[in-house]
Structure formats: structure tokens, C-alpha cells
Amino acid sequence: MRLVLAFVFVACIATIGGCVLMRGSDGVLDASWTAPTTNADGSSLTDLVSYRVYYSTTNPPCPGGPFLTVASSTARPTPDQKVSVRLTGLTMGQLYYVAIATVNSRGMLSGCTPAASARARRP
């Protein structure tokens, strides 16, 4: 699984001394990844139920950070199947680390992907 996060472009407002970054708790991050098609042992993945999207301001976010559960649209993902989610309620301008794990039909949790990072932005 390769995780991709949306990047933030900060525009400067006319101020003395540089840019102003407004902070609030309404920031978002868009995360997307390619669904896995095989298990860790190389066998075909046939029982995918959901993803855990871990996110935190500290690295690594997984496995101890808060997470959002995203249902899988299929138990058998096809090659190059994309999955995406929007994380909301984040602090705008804050750097977040995000990692993904999978959950199968037996409730078993996979290892986490390497973390990707980006700053929360306005929706």
C-alpha cells in the first residue's frame, strides 16, 4: 500500500513580516492509497473488511494514535484499486502523520504502512 496525502499551499496575506497561518480545529487532510491484493505471506487477499487510518502529530502514528475506520468496498480488492478518506476536525497548519493498517474478517489487524505526513488545510 502506498499512502498519498494532500499537500497544503499557504498563501501570504499582506502583512508586515511575512505570512500569517490561521489555526483552528476545522482543518482537513485527504489521504488515499492503493488497496492491497495479497496477504503478508503472498497469498491472495480474500477477506478484507476495513482499514484503520491512524493519524497523529507525532511519528509514528500507528499503532497507538487515534484512528478512523474505513469500510472496504470489497473483500477482494482488484489491482490498482484506490481508496480515499478525508480526515476532519484537525488543526489547520499542523503537521500530521498518517499510516494505514487493514482488518480482515477474523478481526486480525495487519502491520501499518510507513507514515506519510502533510499539514492540515482548509476544506
Radius of gyration of the chain (CA): 17
Tens place of pLDDT per residue across the chain (123 aa): 544 444 333 332 332 333 333 345 689 999 999 999 998 889 999 999 999 999 999 999 998 889 999 999 999 999 999 999 999 999 999 999 999 999 999 999 999 999 999 999 998
* CATH code of the domain in which 82 resides: 2.60.40.10
Number of domains in the chain: 1
Query: In 58-71, which positions are buried (b, 16+ CB within 10 angstroms) versus exposed (e)?
Result: eeebbeebebeebe
In terms of residue numbers, what domain contains 22? 3-119
